[in-house]
Structures are given as structure tokens and as C-alpha cells.
Amino acid sequence: MSELAPPSPAGRSRNTSAAKIRHGLSATLLWLVALLFLTPLIYTVATSLKPASDVFSVPPSLVGKEIRWQNYADALDYLPFQKFILNGLIVAVSGTLITLAAASMSAYAFARLKFRGRNVLFAAFLATLMIPQEVLVVPMFSLMQEFGWVDSYRALILPWAFTAFGVFLMRQFFLTIPQELADAAYIDGAGKFRTFFSIMLPLARPSLAVLAVFTFINYWNSFLWPLIITNSVEDKGTVPLGLSLFFSQQGSQWNLVMAASVISMIPTVLLLLLLRKHLVSGIATTGMGGR
Amino acid sequence: MTMESTISPAPERPVPSGPPRSKKSWRDSDTAAATVFAAPSTIGLTVFTVIPIVMSLVMSFYNWPAFGDKSVAGTANFSDLLSSPEFRRVVLNTVVFTVLYLPLNLLVSLGLSLWISTMRRGRQTLRVLFFVPVVTPIVANVLVWKMIYQPNGLIDGIGQQFGVDMPNFLGDPNWAMLALVLMSVWQGFGYNLLVFSAAIDSIPQSLNEAASLDGVGPWQRFRHITLPMISPSMFFATTMTLITTFQVFAQPYLLTGGGPGATTETLVLFIYREGFSNFALGTAAAGAWVLFAIILVITALQFLFQKKWVTYDV
């Protein structure tokens, strides 16, 4: 940790090589910790490539007798796993688009337009953030029954597409845009809509990207709500639901289950890599992420 | 952009109600636009959040089966819950989970973020690595841990190699909760690690260097510089983690099914079962409000006590 810094001003020059060695050791140890931490993920990938007979071999080994790529094809064929992926993409992509549109529009209103009751309404928005999902899912299920939406894409997408969180995030951003820019647009004859679409939104691209990635990941990974609202898992199930069904039916075929797990991780890991440069600052400014 | 070109001609432009700042015209034109812009979110939040909240409150005072006739229950749902040993057990389990999970999560995330901050190279890569399980589907994470924990699984297999008898982590009442906590910490601490990393990155380097030149040791520097500087982040992390910890669901649902016995049955698992296996939506709603009340009280207490340790004025 911070002991690695030179201990005292007097010893600095004498200790540089010792400090270097210590720093090297510390770095090595840290990478080992990271490797240990990644073991479950490595184990997932390793198991996904083993023949079934080698999954619980003694002694445990990373590689089976053969590298069996066929597991992935089998996992995709078993159950309508391809259907789960398609459902997951439909739900996550449209959910993200709706979230972005609704959040950025109302954020613009709250940040940039003056209207009566603005502060009260915004406070009401923020208040909804305090309600845990569990309080909502019970009545939401009844509401979906009333609407006749049980087991539909609508029910998977719409209930979670309107979040005060996204509004709050986008509003914070719009507040930082100098008023002169909006004034200039106004004087140039741009109305509120033009100003929003041709000035505010393009400028907001980084914030929109962060919101989009996290919204997509939340939709893609969501488990409790799809579990509740989906009757015909085989028809409307998303990927996590498909995985758990896969497991409950084929719990013994760990190699196939792990292949399906790897497939389920691909989109989110790709997005994470895409986002990695903005990850720390994104978390710092938005406080969003895992749930 | 258009700024330069527009600043000079502005006064010439005949704007009927005077300069743009004139309140009347701005407000009039804003209200119409604001209605359009704010409508989708306002309607969406009303239908999918406000109405369910009201419904949930109503439901908690009813016998409300998922299918069939409803009848008024008064406060019976709540009093039944609070007097039921099963429910108390579930709340206790959730508290035990939190008491184990929260300190472990904070310790690991703070320790590793400090450690990573001393690295000259690969900081960002390391942070991303620890963040991976936060974004991978929790179902996938749980399933691999099930393989790791189970008899003949990875841990047991390694144990056999060395002739050590490993417990049946998920089937042994003494181990199941610990196994659940460990898996959850693995899956979740990367989030707080990033929160702390952001805070540590924003500490001016000169502060530590100056203290170091003055002969202040590493522990003292941590205690008197780093810790106060990151205390707002620690407050944020503690509050958010606590809230989400009380909502733990997927891990017990898939890893242990609440068992063995009821040793890992958590509050949300209970709510889920009441609502969607027993179809007692009224009881489930009441349970959800008890959960919300617990979260509110704890969060309020945290805000109350934050003055004692959170420093904002640096």
C-alpha cells in the first residue's frame, strides 16, 4: 500500500533501488491477487470447453482431454437459447432507447426551461428513487395483469424505462452547458426543439453513452422481474432466465451450462471494454452501476 | 459555433417583448415546450412507479390473491408478519448477511483501491478486471460459484488433492451463509472499488508529497489525509451498499434456494415466495413495506451520524 512511498526524506536516494524492488514485488503480488479473483471466470470458460466426463475430474484441471467447441453449438441448440438472446437484445435495446429519449427530454425541461411547479415536480421525481424495486414488483405484477401485458415484451421493457435516475444524470449535464449557447441559438431563431435536438443532444453524447451502457447492462442482466412476469419462458424469456431454466433442467451438464454462461457475458463484457476509459470518471460523476 | 456571429446582431433584432431575459415571453414559450419535454417521463413514472406505490400500500392492507377475490385484511398482514417466527428468521438472516457483507466489501474495495493507486502501470486495467463480475449476469456468476462450492467442485477437488476434507459449503447450515456472503462480495465489491478509486485519484498529489517530506509516515498520511479526503465517498458507498445489500435476492435464490433449512432465506426471497409461489400478494406487499421501512430507518441513521466522520470542507 502507501508504505511503498519513500519513508523519509533522508533515505530517499539510498533507498531508490530498494523501493523499486518493493514496488515490483507489490505489483506482482497485486497481479496475482487479480488472477485469483478472476479464477471463477477462468473456470467458467475452462469448463465450457470440456467434455462432460472431464468436468469434475480429480485432480481438478483447467483443460479437459479435448477442447470441445461443440459445447457452444450444443448450448445454443439446447432449449431455445438463441431465442433468449434475441429476446434479451430486443428488451435491452428498446429499453435503452426509450430510457435515453425520455430521460434526456425531461432533463432538458428541468435544466433549461422555466415552468411553474418545476422544482416540486423534480423533487417528486427524485423521491421515486428511494422506493426499492421489491415494493414495486408486487403491484406491478397486478398492474400488468390489468393491462393484459403479462408475458409480453411491453411488460419486460416499459415498467423500468422511466427512471428519475437518468433524468437526474442528464440534468446535471445540461446544467453545465453555458446559457450563452442557448441564448445564441434563440437569437438565431432556433426554438426549444431545435435547440434541444441540434445543440443540447450532440453535446450530451458522452453522458448519453454512459447512461446507455449502464441501462443496457441493467436490462440485459435483470433477473427478478423477468422471473415474475414471464410465463412462457421458452417464448419470452431473457438470457438470465434462460440460464436458470437451462440449469434447473440440465444441472448435470455443467459444460453446457458454462458455455451458455459465457455467451450471456459477452455483450456486457464488450460494453465494459468499450466504456473502460470513462469507467472511473463515469462512476465518480454519476454514481451509477451495479445493482 | 454560431456564438460569434450572433452576439453583435442581437440588439438589432426586433424581439417584441424586449431582450430574451424578459420574463413574460420566456415563461410563456417555455411552458408549452416543457410540457412536451417532461410528459413522457412524468407519465411513465406516474403509471409505473407512483401508481404501483399507491397500489402496494393498498394491497398490504388486503388479502390479495394473485387470482381470485380480494378482501380487506386491515393491519393483519403486518401483524401476522411481525409475529411470525418465520418472518423474524428471514429478517435476522438478512441482517446477518448485511453485517458480514458490508464490512468485508468495504475492506476489500478500499484496500485494493489504495493498493492499485500505488501502481505506476496498469491501474486502469486492474480496476476494469475487478469490475467485470459487476456487469456479468448475476445468474452466470452464481452458477459458476455453485460449481466451485459443491462436493467434487473446484474447492473440494483441490482439498482432495491435499487430503483435506472440505465441508459441503452449500449444504451445511454452518457454512451456507458464509458461502453466500463470499460469493456476493466477489461479485459486488468492484463497484465500490471504482468509487474509492475516483476519490483517491482526486486527492492532490502535492498533499501527500508535502507530508512525506515533513516526515509523516504512511499510516499517519492515510489517517489524516487520505481518509478525510475520501470520507464523502465512503459515506456514499456505505449508504448505497447497505440499501442494495438488504435487497439481496438472486444469490440465495439460485445458490442455496434459501436452505439448508431456512438458513439463507432472505427478506426479498421471502417476498418473492409469498407473492409468486403462495400467490399472497397482500402479504408480499406488506413484507416489501417492512423492507422499505428498515432501509429508511438505517439510511436516516446514517445521515444522522455522518457529521461525526464525514469531512466535506477540504
Note the pLDDT tens digit of each residue in A133-176. 889 999 999 999 999 999 999 999 999 999 998 999 899 889 88
Q: Which residues contact A234 (CB under 8 A, 6 or more apart)?
A: A79, A80, A83
- Cα separation of A211 and A103, whole Å? 10
Q: What is the ipTM of this complex?
A: 0.87
Helix (H) or strand (E) holding B71: strand B71-72
Chain B within 8 Å of A248 (Cβ-Cβ)?
Answer: no
Task: Name chain B contacts of A258, Cβ cutoff 8 Å.
Answer: 143-144, 147
Of residues A105, A113, A272, nearest to B128 (C-beta): A272
More confident residue, B26 or A237: A237
Listed residue (A2, A281, A27) closest to B120, CA to CA: A27
pTM: 0.87
Residue at B208: amino acid letter: N
> Each residue of B210-241: pLDDT tens digit?
888 888 888 898 899 999 999 988 998 999 89
- Cα separation of A272 and B257, whole Å? 30
- Cα separation of B148 and B255, whole Å? 11
Question: In this structure, what C-alpha cell is assigned to residue B301?
Answer: 441513521
DSSP B166: P
Look at the block and give the residue holding cell 409468486.
B276
Within a 13 Å sphere around the CA of B27, how many CA atoms are in the beta-carbon half? 7
The top-scoring range by mean pLDDT among A13-17, A73-77, A103-107, B231-235 is A103-107
Of residues B127, B218, B272, nearest to A3 (C-beta): B218
Question: In this structure, what C-alpha cell is assigned to residue A185?
Answer: 441559438
Listed residue (B29, B181, B194, B178) closest to B110, CA to CA: B194
Chain B within 8 Å of A42 (Cβ-Cβ)?
Answer: no
Q: Which residues contact B123 (CB under 8 A, 6 or more apart)?
A: B116, B117, B197
Task: Name chain B contacts of A161, Cβ cutoff 8 Å.
Answer: 44
* pLDDT at residue B17 is higher than 50: no
Of residues B59, B135, B199, nearest to A272 (C-beta): B135
Task: Name chain A contacts of B148, Cβ cutoff 8 Å.
Answer: 40, 43
**Scanning every residue of chain A, which has its alpha carbon at the shortest distance from the alpha carbon of B135?**
A268
- Cα separation of A131 and B266, whole Å? 19
Listed residue (B141, B120, B160) closest to A38, CA to CA: B141
Q: Which residues contact A210 (CB under 8 A, 6 or more apart)?
A: A169, A275, A278, A282, A286, A288
Question: In this structure, what C-alpha cell is assigned to residue A255?
Answer: 459444460
